[in-house]
Amino acid sequence: MSEGREDRYILEAREVDFSYYDGLVIKSVSLGLKKGDIVGLIGPNGSGKTTLLRLLSGFLPPKSGSVCLSGRDLGQMSRREIARLIAVVPQELEMLFSFSVWEMVMMGRTPHAPRLLGARRGDREVVERVMERVGIQYLAQRPFQELSGGERQKVIVAMALAQEPDILLLDEPTVHLDINHQVEVLELLRRLNRESGLTVLATMHDLNLAALYFDNLVLLNEGEIVSHGTPEEVLQEANIRRVFEASVEIQKHPTLGVPHMVILPPPR
């Protein structure tokens, strides 16, 4: 490992293997994120995307290899330390009790708050700033459980941002959302990345949206990285045919020029 490598990557998986039972789910994966990266993690269902995200966030320990945050092995860090630097947005967040949007976002301050002392003035200021940035301040007193899917997702993102992380990891942030809310959430992530240098890694199901909003893509299949690079480099017809077992024609987006896939149905 070269001496400058730890400075190059803010978050890095090094030859990581992981298995739940007898078979490897993640197989010798090496992946590095630099500060300010915005990366989409794509692949078919069951390819290991969510598992890799959990490994990168420290929720799962690798069977072999290591995951390092600014050069430190996550296995040697406390959850509180990790949560000050990495925030995770899950696919779904079910709450057993009724919390207001304000209370939900305030929960994001937990890694920074002194134990048993409750919210401080500085915490409240962070929450107010984050809610305004995400555009949900008007929802502050609304019960979280009564919100629409798009509103909930924005609240969960705000809750993660209240941690003031360097890295934001998201698992299918557009799942179950209609196209308008998908675009709103992805526009928000891209704006946060561009304005504050927030490092973003998100698993994505829609390949065309991934090409539109992420500078780089990682294509995962059966626990292994098949391709890693720009959308033009990764979204090749041969890669899609091999990994997704689907026939597509790669065209250029009419205004942005990024790859745009058209599905080709089988001959009738």
Encoding tokens for residue 214? 């992420």
- The 10 Å Cβ neighbour count of residue 187 is 11
Helix (H) or strand (E) holding 96: none
At position 1, the amino acid (one-letter code) is M
For the chain, state the CA radius of gyration.
19
Compute the distance between CA of residue 8 and CA of residue 64 in angstroms, rounded to an integer. Answer: 22
Encoding tokens for residue 237? 């017809």
pTM of structure: 0.92
Compute the distance between CA of residue 82 and CA of residue 210 in angstroms, rounded to an integer. Answer: 27
- The 10 Å Cβ neighbour count of residue 99 is 16
Encoding tokens for residue 195? 């304005």
Reduced to 3 states, what is the DSSP secondary structure of residue 225? Answer: strand
Encoding tokens for residue 255? 């205004």
Predicted local distance difference test score (pLDDT) of residue 119 = 65
Predicted local distance difference test score (pLDDT) of residue 122 = 85
Compute the distance between CA of residue 53 and CA of residue 247 in angstroms, rounded to an integer. Answer: 28
Predicted local distance difference test score (pLDDT) of residue 51 = 97
> pLDDT of 214-223, one tens digit each?
999 999 999 9
Reduced to 3 states, what is the DSSP secondary structure of residue 193? Answer: helix
Structural domains of the chain ordered from first start: 1-85+165-232 (3.40.50.300), 99-164 (no CATH)
Beta bridge partners of 170: 89, 202
Predicted local distance difference test score (pLDDT) of residue 95 = 74
Residue 59 CA, chain-centre distance (Å), reads: 14
Nearest to 207 by CA among 248, 257, 267: 248
> pLDDT of 97-142, one tens digit each?
789 999 999 999 988 876 545 567 789 999 999 999 999 999 999 9
Environment class of residue 128 by beta-carbon count within 10 Å: exposed (0-12), middle (13-18) or buried (19+)? Answer: middle
Given a cut of 70, the residues of the chain with pLDDT beneath it are: 1-7, 96, 114-119
- The 10 Å Cβ neighbour count of residue 29 is 24
Compute the distance between CA of residue 73 and CA of residue 56 in angstroms, rounded to an integer. Answer: 11
Say which residues have a Cβ less than 8 Å from residue 15's Cβ, sequence separation at least 6.
28, 29, 30, 64, 65, 66
